[in-house]
Amino acid sequence: MPLNAVAHLNFRGQAREALEFYASVFGGRATVVTYGDFGMPAEVPGSANVVFGEVVAENGFRVMAYDVPGENRPVEVAEPATRRENGTTVTAERFFLSVRGESADEVTPVWKGLAEGATVIEEFGPAQWSPGFGMLTDRFGVTWVIDVAHA
């Protein structure tokens, strides 16, 4: 039986919005189960938050997410965690999410969708190692690398 590694994103009250956004960008369907669905009384703060969520698309894209219990506010970063300095990507992040396609035509719509409200670190375009490469941090604070497989 094959094993699959799937990114699981942690949010503070934004998981539903993020999952719906990713479904609009990548296609597929967002599944959302709330703490309330698991029996938390509706009057308890956080009962409408996501305890389990995922987007699964026919093109192979899959991501999971939930809202970390506790205070419902997005984590704010004083300065971007990833940035370009002197032609080099500098980051304190432990990971990026990478989406790779076979052609620029295949990944350009993904780039355009994720770029809405994002901080672009490196514009999508040809690179020395790929016919198409770009990096951005989306409006939810997730950094994505979008590229085209080198032939």
pLDDT tens-digit readout, 97-147: 999 999 999 999 999 999 999 999 999 999 989 999 999 999 999 999 999
Cβ distance 144 to 150 under 8 Å?
Answer: no
Average pLDDT over residues 15-32: 97
CATH of domain 82-148: 3.30.720.110
CA angle 5, 32, 47 (to 5 degrees): 120
Q: Which residue is listed with tokens 């669905």? A: 37
Q: Which residue is listed with tokens 């994002």? A: 118
Lowest mean pLDDT among 43-52, 83-92, 115-124: 83-92
Give the predicted TM-score (pTM) of the model: 0.87
Tell me which amino acid residue 134 is: G
Higher pLDDT, 92 or 101: 101
Cβ distance 37 to 90 under 8 Å?
Answer: no
Of 80, 135, 83, 141, nearest in space to 110 by CA: 135
Average pLDDT over residues 37-57: 94
